[in-house]
Each structure stands twice: as structure tokens, then as C-alpha cells.
């Protein structure tokens, strides 16, 4: 389906250029997006925490879809062991900062996108600054401490977010609308830490898993910006690419959750955030 000249004329009232109308034409003709939704995407800002296996496909989809402002946070450099699963980093990028590697690819991909890169790891000292003016947060790190930090801070600042985890052939995704849906601590507040070594570096991961998970996280961000319902809330979406199974497990909001039952309390300032579950508990 092509966009007619008359339709192009009407679309320009949304301050879309001719190039933008052509670039995003397949999105604009979707009734769930249209020109109004496209303008929302171009005006939006998404924070991506982590520029690795999850962050690469998330950033790629956000950029191609025309999310106009993307803030990428990661303090790591590209290593050769990253290249089998971190699809936006190439052999020539080895030794470069991951955020700079992604920035260069986005600039080539889409001139509509303004990229802000921050060569830091997220922590409780900088998280308020990192979250500033963001419409959605994609938690794409590879450690549990950051996942708890993002959960606690986004809940406090009332910013919707998506958390994903991948290992071996398995992936899981949770999206959270603060004040409305189950948060990460509702699920893991009593976790003992006994499985804290179940990470990609310890157990491995096939590259298809983070690509799928990161893409789904980007899709959740896009739907949130457009005001469409998020389907990965109040539970975990699990997939197993060895068996090709996909399942959503409902998990009720915990009325006694120390974070989302009291969102005005800045718990993120009171905790230590390490890669051990038991060290990330509310003190």
C-alpha cells in the first residue's frame, strides 16, 4: 500500500517531512500508529541500560522505527567474545567503547535519531540523572544488581520499563507500569541468591535468544510511547528456543512489596546493588 500525494499533504500537518513520510510509510499506515503516533515516536526519549546482547537489537529496532531520542548507558568496551550475540558490534569495533560503537551505527541508520551516549555503568549515584526526561526504560544489563536498581528507581520516578534476562536457550521479559502492575521485587523480594551465578558468562547463551528478547523489549517501549497496552505486565513472558516453547506466567502484585507498595519512598538510595540477589534486598 502506497501513501498518496493527498495523504502526504494531510500528513504534513504533523510536521513530518517528505523523507519521513516515505521512511516510516509502513508504520504510518497502521491504524495503531498513523501520523500522530509517528510524531509521538519522533518526540520520545528511551533510555537503554546496557549496550550488549539485549541492548543491540533494542537500539536497532528503536532507531529504525524512528524513536527520536535514544540515551544509551554502558561503561564497557567491545570484546571479541561479544560478537556472536551483540549484533550491532563488528570485528572492527573490538576495543572501542560499546556506546560509541552503537552511536556510529545509529548515525548511519537513521538521521532522525538523536543519540546520547553515556560511558558509565548505572548506579544509585547517577540513576536519577540517567532517567531524566525519559518516557521508557529498557533494562538490558547482564547483572541482577542493575535490574533491581532500575526497578526501584523507575518505580519511584514513575517511569514505565522493561527488564529482560537471557541464558543458554532461555529468555524472560517483564514490563512494569509503576503504580499499576507487578514489579520485579514483587517476584524476587524473597530470593536467596542461590542461583546468582546463572549468568551468560557462566552458563553461555545462543545469540538468537538476546536478539528476540531485546526486540520484544523495544516493541514494549514503542507500544508504551503510543499508548498501546503492554502485554508483558503482571507476570513473566518466558521462551525456550531449544523446545520452541513460549509461555506467559501470571504473577500477582505483592501488596507487601517494599518498593511498589510505597513508591514515594526512594528505596534506591538506601540499598547496595551488586550482582548477588541477597545483597540487593531492601535494608
Q: Which residues are catalytic?
A: 200
Phi-psi region of 114 (alpha: psi -120 to 50; beta: other; left: phi over 0): beta
| Rounded CA separation 208/270 (Å) | 37
With cell 519521513, the residue in question is 20
The edge-to-edge listing of strands for the beta sheet with 114-118 is: 114-118, 69-73, 45-49, 136-139, 161-167, 170-176, 235-240, 245-250
* Whole-angstrom Cα Rg for the chain: 19
In a 3-state reduction of DSSP, which class is residue 139?
Answer: strand
Contacts of 17 (CB under 8 A, 6+ apart): none
In a 3-state reduction of DSSP, which class is residue 243?
Answer: coil
Interstrand relation of 245-250 and 235-240 (parallel, antiparallel or unpaired): antiparallel
H helices, E strands: number in the chain: 11, 8
With cell 513473566, the residue in question is 236
- DSSP H or E run through 270: none
Amino acid at each position: 500500500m502506497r501513501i498518496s500525494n493527498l495523504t502526504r499533504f494531510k500528513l504534513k500537518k504533523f510536521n513530518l517531512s517528505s523523507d519521513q513520510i516515505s521512511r516510516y510509510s509502513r508504520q504510518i499506515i497502521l491504524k495503531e500508529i498513523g501520523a500522530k503516533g509517528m510524531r509521538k515516536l519522533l518526540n520520545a526519549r528511551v533510555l537503554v541500560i546496557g549496550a550488549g546482547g539485549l541492548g543491540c537489537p533494542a537500539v536497532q529496532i528503536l532507531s529504525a522505527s524512528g524513536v527520536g531520542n535514544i540515551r544509551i548507558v554502558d561503561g564497557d568496551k567491545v570484546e571479541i567474545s561479544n560478537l556472536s550475540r551483540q549484533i550491532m558490534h563488528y570485528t572492527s569495533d573490538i576495543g572501542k567503547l560499546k556506546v560509541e560503537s552503537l552511536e556510529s551505527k545509529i548515525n548511519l541508520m537513521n538521521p532522525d535519531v538523536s543519540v546520547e551516549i553515556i560511558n558509565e555503568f548505572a548506579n544509585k549515584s547517577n540513576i536519577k540523572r540517567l532517567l531524566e526526561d525519559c518516557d521508557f526504560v529498557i533494562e538490558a544489563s547482564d547483572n541482577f544488581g542493575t535490574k533491581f536498581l532500575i526497578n526501584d528507581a523507575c518505580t519511584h520516578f514513575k517511569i514505565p520499563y522493561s527488564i529482560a534476562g537471557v541464558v543458554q536457550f532461555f529468555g524472560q521479559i517483564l514490563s512494569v507500569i509503576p503504580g499499576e502492575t507487578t514489579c520485579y521485587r514483587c517476584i524476587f523480594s524473597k530470593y536467596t541468591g542461590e542461583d546468582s551465578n546463572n549468568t551468560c558468562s557462566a552458563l553461555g547463551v545462543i545469540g538468537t535468544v538476546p536478539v528476540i528478547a531485546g526486540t520484544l523489549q523495544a516493541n514494549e517501549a514503542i507500544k508504551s510511547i503510543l499508548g498501546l497496552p503492554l502485554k508483558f505486565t503482571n507476570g513473566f513472558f518466558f521462551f525456550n528456543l531449544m523446545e520452541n516453547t513460549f509461555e506467559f506466567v501470571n504473577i500477582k502484585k505483592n501488596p507487601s512489596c517494599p518498593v511498589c507498595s510505597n513508591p514515594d519512598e526512594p528505596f534506591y538510595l538506601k540499598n547496595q546493588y551488586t550482582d548477588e540477589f541477597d545483597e540487593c534486598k531492601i535494608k
